[in-house]
Amino acid sequence: MLRVNYGPRIDKTYCNGCGECYQNCPMDVFGWDETEKRPTIDYPGECAFCCVCEITCAQRAVDVRFPLHTMLDFGIDPKNANK
Amino acid sequence: MSLSFGQSADEIIETDLLILGGGLVGCMAALRARQDRKIDVAIMEKGTIKWGGNGIGFDDHNIEYPGIIEHPLPRNFTATQAAKGEFGAKRFHNLVSANLAVTEAKNYVKPLVVLEDLGVKIREDDGTVKVKQTQKMPGGPNWHRLVPDANGKIEGDKVFYRGSDVKARLADAVVKSGVRVFERTMLTSLITQDGAVVGATGINVRTGKFMVFKAKAVLVSTGDSRRLYTYPYAPYPNCLFLNTHFAANHGGGLAAAYRVGAKVANMEFLQVYVVAAGACATSSAGAGMYWRVQNSKGEYLEDKYRDFGLAKKGGHFPATNFFYAPDMDHPEMNREVITYDTSQATDDEVIACYFTCATEYPRLLKLYQLAGGIRKPPVEAKIFIPGLLSGIVGILMVNDKAETSVKNLYIAGSSSSSTGSSGSKAIVWGLIVGDSLKELLPDMKHPAFGAEQLKQIDDEKKRVMQPLTNPGGIDPLELEYYIRNINMNYINVYKSEPKLKHALKLFQNAKEKALPLLCARNPHELMRALEVIDILDLSEIHARTSLMRTESRLTPCHYRMDFPESDDANWGGMILTAHSLNGEPEYLREKVD
């Protein structure tokens, strides 16, 4: 399976399972784990980087990571890209 | 006759007005049609109405030509030109209707009143309306950049309001008005009866529920076609979804309308943009809208090529024209590295950039934040094709009631061939069509489905569900990548007959050999499978019309290497339309009004 290293990431320490990211994602990147009552990231390769998940997460548990080419071409040092 | 819809429909919804797509057009139209609460309205939306569509962040926080707010007519056109609609039509080389442009201009101010009522901050704190500054290229189109005129005065002809919450407020108002909203539901087909549209089918992309909608009228507002080309500087699959516009818009409304006989027009025309490398964004983050682009020698392209042909007669994005200047055979971009430099941005420019970022996709603010702010080292500017030329390419709007060539089927916004596209235009046309249908619908009868409609529904369900029966088949995204690479490699900006013919062969081959093997493991993947079927059909029309238009027009939007000049004698004011007739494509050469 192709490994995708970009797209939304969820910090489970902060996620309270409100489901806003799952409800709002325009590209339907997220899934939902019924057992854990927590969002999952099922299709990170389809992320369009709108960052709606990130701005609608009241817990600030979601961070959208940009792909490498975006960081390097737009002048972002990859080591500063993580929260 | 009582009909049960066979075993096909998991849910049946009857409504007066079915709106396909809950973007700016769909929400505004729904709100207006529901004004007096007499009409039942349903919206089918593939994502959510709060965050769906190009208006997700609404960077088009302006009204074009709103000189009419302060002046009776747009500033840079004469009264005679304005009355003829030339300000709209000429901008697009007479590929769109001048009459529609007049209708649009007459309605520009109305949505502002509606939005203000919804609580959108249109006015400044002192109650005045702020206008956006634009500079006009001599004889050319608008140049969206903050530059004072020769007298140091900054005048504007675009209302510059705080539009970041437009979509959210519209969506809330739509729900409050009692519109029935079916989110995560993708349009799959239109249902017809005696040549008129009487409903649609859709599938919930999370539950797999197959839905049937019966309606007196259907409005297509599914947006533009953003999935025909790729962002070639990114790896797969990022190259499929990184776009300047809303990547969920794959052209589903266009494809569905085409299949029931609605004319789609101008499908040969590309949208050719200049974007900031990496960000794949125009507007504040991109080159060419606010920032001046320069080559490695420090020459500003707008100064270097101001008097060259393309800058005056080419496509309607000025920065793009400079990349292909001085002419298509010797484009600056082929021998130069072109950048924009924000390190010396003025305070006004920084403020304007942040303002625009705040009303754009949230990603832009984050990108600038990570990059250290607006004033940063130069970024390369690149050519990118976000899709077909939205608002010019699309379902043909045949009159100012937003009707299409098929009865009871209406069209507005970026999926229409009407007057061009922007968030402003979308809201204007949403208002026009909503107001119009509010008056028309009470006198229209609800359709009664017969055996023919049931057959359509049964057949459609079989088609839709077929990829679920192909375990281990072809991955939809792999096929999408293949199709879009055909567009990239054989159509693109530099078109020629042999390559276009070859593209058609490749599409046909993919249609015969790959489509039947499409595979989906769940409703989400089924959505991608159904999308690629539409993408393939639209790509085929794109190639065919590109081949048929034996001239170049709006270069580089349609440039034929073998017919490099515009041929006004044969093609002036002529458009190519395509529609499906008994399942077979039919192409027509028609005169635009």
Task: Give me the residue from B237, B371, B527 closest to A75, CB to CB.
Answer: B371
Mean pLDDT in order along chain A per 10 residues (83 residues): 87 97 97 97 96 94 96 92 64
Cα B443 to Cα B441: distance, rounded to the nearest angstrom? 5
Q: Of B544, B561, B489, B471, which is closest to residue B230 (Cα–Cα)?
A: B489
DSSP B204-232: ETTT--EEEEEEEEEEE----B-SSS--T
Beta bridge partners of B563: B560
For residue B310, the model assigns a pLDDT of: 59
- CB–CB of B8/B241 below 8 Å? no
Beta bridge partners of B382: B275
- CB–CB of B321/B314 below 8 Å? yes
- Partners of A69 on chain B (C-beta within 8 Å) are 233-235, 238, 278
Residues ≥6 apart with Cβ < 8 Å to B365: B354, B357, B358
Task: Please identify which residue in the block is written with the tokens 């001085």.
Answer: B326
Task: Give me the residue from B234, B370, B527 closest to A76, CB to CB.
Answer: B370
Q: Which two tokens stand for residue A35?
A: 């057992």
- Range 139-198 of B in CB contact (< 8 A) with A: 184
Q: Of B371, B411, B409, B416, which is closest to residue B393 (Cα–Cα)?
A: B416
For residue B64, the model assigns a pLDDT of: 46
Q: Which two tokens stand for residue B403?
A: 């009707």
The answer to whether the peptide bond before residue B141 is cis (omega within 30 degrees of 0) is no
Nearest CA to CA, how far is B393 from chain A (Å)? 23
For residue B322, the model assigns a pLDDT of: 86
Q: Where are the beta strands (DSSP E) in B368-440?
A: 379-388, 394-396, 409-411, 416-417
- CB–CB of B142/B67 below 8 Å? no
Nearest CA to CA, how far is B242 from chain A (Å)? 5
Q: Of B583, B465, B488, B484, which is closest to residue B532 (Cα–Cα)?
A: B484
Beta bridge partners of B143: B135
- CB–CB of A64/A56 below 8 Å? no
- CB–CB of B272/B556 below 8 Å? yes
Which strand (E) or helix (H) includes residue A74?
Answer: helix A68-74
Task: Give me the residue from A28, A42, A50 closest to B362, CB to CB.
Answer: A50
Task: Give me the residue from B52, B235, B380 closest to A73, CB to CB.
Answer: B380
Regions of chain B short of the pLDDT cut 70: 1-6, 56-91, 128-163, 283-290, 308-316, 318, 348, 352, 355-356, 358-360
- CB–CB of B135/B147 below 8 Å? yes
Domain ranges of chain A: 7-76
Is the Cβ of B57 closer than 8 Å to some Cβ of chain A?
yes
For residue B209, the model assigns a pLDDT of: 97
- Partners of B234 on chain A (C-beta within 8 Å) are 67, 69-70
Can you give the pTM of this predicted structure? Answer: 0.93
Tell which CATH classification among 3.30.70.20, 3.40.50.150, 3.40.190.10, 3.50.50.60 matches the domain A7-76: 3.30.70.20
- Range 6-45 of A in CB contact (< 8 A) with B: 6, 23-28, 42-43, 45
Nearest CA to CA, how far is B280 from chain A (Å)? 8
A74 vs B52: CB contact, 8 Å cut-off?
no
> Tell me, what DSSP letter sits at residue B76?
T
A48 vs B247: CB contact, 8 Å cut-off?
yes
Beta bridge partners of B350: none
Cα B74 to Cα B51: distance, rounded to the nearest angstrom? 33
Residues ≥6 apart with Cβ < 8 Å to B549: B268, B558, B560, B571, B576
Nearest CA to CA, how far is B448 from chain A (Å)? 35
ipTM: 0.97
